[in-house]
Structure 1
Amino acid sequence: MTDSDTFDIEALNALRLLGPDPADWVAERPGLDHNVTIVGGGQTGTAFAFALRRAGIGKVTIIDAAADENGAGIWLTRARMNKLRTPKNLVGPELGLPALSFQAWYEARHGAEAYAAIDRIPRTAWAAYLKWYRTFLGIEIRYGTRLARVEPADGAFRLHLESKGEPRIETTRKIIFGNGILGSGGAFIPEVLAKGLPRSLLAHTSDPIDFSALKGKDVAVVGGAASAFDAAATALEAGAASVRLFSRRETLASVPILRVRGYPGAYDNYAYLPDAIRWHQAIRYRQAGSTPPPDSIERVLRFANFHLHLGAPWTEAHVRDGRAETTIKGETFAFDYVIAGTGYFSDPNVRPELADFAEDILLWRDFYTPPADEQDAYLGAHPYLGFGHEYLEKEPGTAPFLKNIHVFNPSGFVSFGLPIGDVPSLKRDVPGVVARISRDLFLDDLPAHERRITGTVPPDFEDSLYAGAVHGDRQKVAAD
């Protein structure tokens, strides 16, 4: 028996000691396919599935547009870092159960000394752990299933799906969007690149990129955050002839603003902060910039054919002789390929699945007016979410169904102060969202539950069980 086999047995025993999963207590509604539909089968979707199961909420389904498990989430697709960017000891999808943690899984396979020796979690090890987590807990994901449209209908939703190329419609009471950073809006490509270059010469870091095709090529990477450095490193490691990284900042962002919020007081209570404070914290992050980890920078510095350009925004781009050409600070450069590591934007109005009601969703710009020196259209387009990560109505009473859509992707950043969907958000927010879903489902069916909790209960025993021990006339008591 291997150490991993022993670990699986120990994990099974931990679940046994936790007790069996509660029975599904949600009142049956004829004609409804699901109580909860989770959109996205990555780390967020699987964590929610387990948490909902432990809350006794049944009829939960997970859909993912990826063809199979290797395409779901980011870890084996567009994530190109060698290590996760978060500390290795954060609580993740195990949600407080040590036997299901990454550390327990890793130590069973590599030993405690090996875990102690890593500073952060290797990306491929994290992907393998998530696969084990899914398999061990028996979490089923319907791959090849894309959500095309959400249609509010009779106190529920009609989901217009494309399942393996075939259209179908299913109904659900609740939706959780655990669909990652692209699900919050889209990839941001600066206009100068989008208009000046064809997609044959241009990709965003969120795109599937064939880096092997860049061998011997001159590559430009635009952006100065982690994903830009990871793309540059991957191109260099694939044999690119040269890679130039262009950052609009005069120096690379090096101050991790979010780190000071990590203590329990701020972390646990962030959503209760006044709007002005939450907005100001988001502005501070925007001004400081997203910091690439030092090892991502060191990864490109190993190559003599890497060049860093600071204070070098692209102001023009065009095609000449089949190559992308630009002039920066009076110097002209030509490239075989350009990769935009320029981040993402959040805006429910651009999501096709939300088209039926996107204009009814309350955004930060609708609810909060920042001071003149803190105006920011990018942050203003983020949804203003409720405490259960639910959408709120722009005009009260016009779209009450919005409270049944829970958003667990990075569009919750301004409201909750973290990149929602990343590992740090799981410990705090998954239990909170599940508690809100549980409350809503219970109160929405209150008449049925009131009948259930006030129903007739048979006695566990008859009076005769204790009659002989009653003080007084025992014969009379027995006769009675």
Structure 2
Amino acid sequence: MMHTSTPPSSTGLAALEAQLAQDLDFLELPAKPWVPECRHDGTPVRDVVVIGAGMCGLAATARLVFAGITNVVAYDAAPAGLEGPWVTFARMQTLRSPKTLHGPALGMPQLTFRAWFTAQWGVEAWQALDKIPKDQWMDYLVWYRTVLALPVRNNVRMTGIAPADEFIAIDIEGAETGRVLTRHLVLATGRSGLGGFAVPDFLKGVDRTFWAHSADEIDFDALKGKRVAVIGAGASSMDNAATALEAGAGSVDMLIRRKEMPRINKMTGIGSQGVVHGMHQLPDIWKWKFVDYTASTQTPPPSSSTRRVSRHSNARFFLDCGIVGISEDAEGLLIETTQGPMHYDFLIAATGFQNDLHGRPEFAAIAPHIRNWSDGRYSPEMGPPRMGMSEAPDLGPSFEFRERVPGSCPMLAHIHCFNDAATLTHGKVSGDIPAVSAGADRLVRGIAASLFARDVERHFDNLVAFDIPELQGDEWVDSTPLLQKEVAL
């Protein structure tokens, strides 16, 4: 947990920020701006717009600025300090990742969480720290954004995407309203990816006063004394169950379809730089095998999260308990399970997210044109089809969408899926802490190359027009006349 007995040192943080500024100066970061100004019918055009200012959005924005792509803005629908899940629907007490991971630091030691923490609380407190408290991780991300002076605009939601000649038009509303033109669009939309909540069929039609998704805003105080069911055996199900119990729920039952709890976190066991940099270059059959296997074995909830639930005497775990149907009755919710009928006052569905763009009105113009893995990239010899994988977008090397029908929506080549939906194509480099810096680097290298190629004529004109001499003409003496005189003699 966080070292709370000692107040943070503002002097130490100021020293860290000074060292970071010097490091950036030594590395010539940010690089000098190099992308020519662009206008469309007199309207300024952004080089890149990033949607989302959570961890991935901040890492992408910082990497763009470092690369000299400065005509960029990141929009986030949340108020400042509430971006991402950390202090909203993430209900764990600490991060699940090891504290030593460098996360979005982009290769800069002074930009790591460890540097930020030790500058304020010292090395001894760092050594005593087990896992990073989630609220403190949010504080770090706020500092990250502030110390790098990243161009983030809060309380702004994207409501639509449309083509505008060779550019992309996005409609926004909130603190800023109107239409913005950009050359590239990055969707750093986090765990919800492209589709939002995954809601099982048995919950459709059930009154929302009786249930919530685990990523909803939930009034846990209202569950005091209530009978609560939680569907699922993952980390979010444990976190929500524990939060309900700690708020005074009368009872909490974990309804778990699997016969046994998953116990081994497979991908953590093979984590390496080989996985980070090699997964996206594997043949498709191997990409499918890796993701399918980890999906079938599932990721276990952390031991601490599970114990946070099981230490309560009014918590029960029902394994091999599938949901047959749910209906409302005089007692609240009647849940028909494979172990018989059960009655509850409220249900929390920790059922994850989906990649169905058709359910998101802001994606209406592009959803029909986006190529998925089911559009020819998947073949039966890879293994059985799996819901959630077949619908995953088939992305290019810079996370860009591809067209289902060539020529049907050219702007997709400049819209980048830098979120959890990219996992099947690129590996886990655009949603989780361990490899987000590598993902941001891969994304920005592609955007920089595209911007340079699109302006190649202007760059060549700049080459021809450059006329600052290196030599002034007085650095040497021309010996040709002397040689000619010697020859004449």
What TM-score bracket applies, with the shorter chain setting the length?
Answer: over 0.9
| Residues 429 and 435 in structure 2, CA contact (< 8 A), matched pair in contact too | yes
Alignment of 1:52-131 (within 5 A): 52-66=64-78, 68-131=79-142
| CA deviation after TM superposition for structure 1 residue 310, in Å | 0.5
| Deviation at residue 228 of structure 1 after TM alignment | 0.3
Q: How far apart in 2 are the matches of 1:178 and 1:229? A: 26
Three-state SS of the structure 2 residue aligned to 1:374 is coil
Note the residue ranges of structure 2 that are not aligned, 5 or more in a row: 1-9
Amino acid in structure 2 at the alignment position of 1:150: I
Q: Deviations over 1:69-122 (max 9, x none)?
A: 233111110111112122222221111000111010011122112222333322
CA contact (8 A) 1:62 1:140 kept: yes
2:425 corresponding residue in structure 1: 415
Give, in whole Å, the separation in 1 of the partners of 2:185 and 2:240: 33
- The answer to whether the aligner puts 1:45 opposite 2:61 as a matched pair is no
Q: Write the distance in 2 (CA, Å) between the matches of 1:277 and 1:271.
A: 10
Deviations 1:45-87 (A, max 9, x none): 1111111111111210111111x12331111101111121222
Whether 2:286 is the aligned partner of 1:277: answer yes
Structure 1 equivalent of residue 28 of structure 2: 19
Name which of structure 1's ranges 235-244 and 369-378 shifts more when overlaid on structure 2. Answer: 369-378
In the other structure, the counterpart of 2:297 is: 288
What TM-score do you get using the length of structure 2 for normalisation?
0.91
Match of 1:251 in 2: 260
Which of residues 463, 466, 469 in structure 2 aligns to 1:459? 469
Q: Which residue of 1 aligns with 2:379?
A: 369
| SS of the residue 1:150 aligns to | strand
1:153 aligned residue: 164
Structure 1 position 343, deviation (Å): 1.1
Alignment match of 2:392 (pick from 382, 392, 402): 382
Farther off after superposition, 340-349 or 147-156: 340-349
Return the offset for 1:20: 4.7
> What is the Cα deviation at residue 188 of structure 1?
1.1
Structure 1 residues 472 and 295: alpha-carbon distance in aligned structure 2, compared to 1, 3 A threshold: farther
2:3 match? none
For these two proteins, the number of residue pairs brought into alignment is 471
Distance in 2 between residues matched to 1:262 and 1:328, nearest whole Å: 37
**Greater shift after overlay, 219-228 or 394-403?**
394-403
Do structure 1's residue 174 and structure 2's residue 184 form an aligned pair?
Answer: yes
Runs of 4+ more than 4 Å apart:
470-474
- Cα offset, 1:439, TM superposition: 0.4
Tell me the CA shift for residue 352 of structure 1.
Answer: 1.7
Secondary structure at 1:423's aligned position in 2? Answer: coil
What SS class does the counterpart of residue 103 from structure 2 fall into? coil
Which residue does the alignment assign to 2:4?
Answer: none
2: CA distance, partners of 1:395 / 1:404: 16
Q: Tell me the residue number matched to 2:276.
A: 267
Deviations 1:116-170 (A, max 9, x none): 2333322111111001111111113211111111001201111111123x74111
Residue 467 of structure 1: how far off its partner (Å): 4.4
Give the Å deviation of 1:21.
Answer: 2.3
Deviations 1:302-339 (A, max 9, x none): 21111111011111211122511223345432222110
Query: 2: distance between equivalents of 1:274 and 1:248?
Result: 33
CA distance in 2 between counterparts of 1:155 and 1:88 reads 44
Conserved? CA contact 1:37–1:62, under 8 Å: yes
SS where residue 11 of structure 1 aligns?
helix
Q: Secondary structure at the match of 1:365?
A: coil
1:226 to 226, 230, 235: 235
Q: Distance in 2 between matches of 1:172 and 1:372?
A: 38
Aligned amino acid, residue 145 of structure 2 = R
The alignment partner of 1:245 has SS state of strand
Aligned partners of 2:334 and 2:344 also within 8 Å: yes
**Preserved CA contact (<8 Å) 2:322 2:338:** no
Q: 1:466, CA displacement in angstroms?
A: 4.4
- Inter-CA distance 163–320: structure 2 relative to 1 (3 Å threshold): same
The residue number in structure 1 matching 2:207 is: 198
- CA distance 1:330–1:122, change in 2 (3 Å): closer
Post-superposition CA distance 1:223-263 (Å, at most 9, x none): 11000000001111111111111110011111212124422
Given that 1:418 and 1:425 are in contact with CA atoms closer than 8 Å, whether structure 2 keeps it comes out as yes
Cα distance in structure 1, aligned partners of 2:275 and 2:84:
28
Tell me how far apart the structure 2 counterparts of residues 50 and 287 of structure 1 sit (CA, whole Å).
Answer: 35
Moved more, 184-193 or 53-62: 184-193
Shift of 1:40: 0.3
3-state SS, counterpart of residue 362 of structure 1: coil
Output the CA distance in 1 between the equivalents of 2:466 and 2:329: 83
Structure 1 pair 42–372 and aligned structure 2 pair: CA distance change class (3 A)? closer
Task: Tell me the equivalent position of 1:429.
Answer: 439
Q: Quote how far apart the aligned CAs of 1:460 are.
A: 3.0
Residue matched to 1:29: 38
Shift of 1:183: 3.4
Cα distance in 2 between the residues matched to 1:278 and 1:370: 14
Q: Distance in 2 between matches of 1:90 and 1:372?
A: 33
- Select the residue among 143, 159, 164 that pairs with 2:154: 143
Q: String of CA shifts for 1:9-67, please: whole Å, max 9, x gaps.
A: 2222222322352222112222333110000011111111111111111210111111x
Deviates more, 1:81-90 or 1:323-332: 323-332
Counterpart position of 1:317:
326
- Report if the CA contact (8 A) 2:55-2:104 is conserved: yes
Taking the aligned partners of 1:256 and 1:330, their CA distance within structure 2 comes to: 28
Provide the secondary structure at the position in 2 that maps to 1:364.
coil
Q: Distance in 2 between matches of 1:5 and 1:22?
A: 24
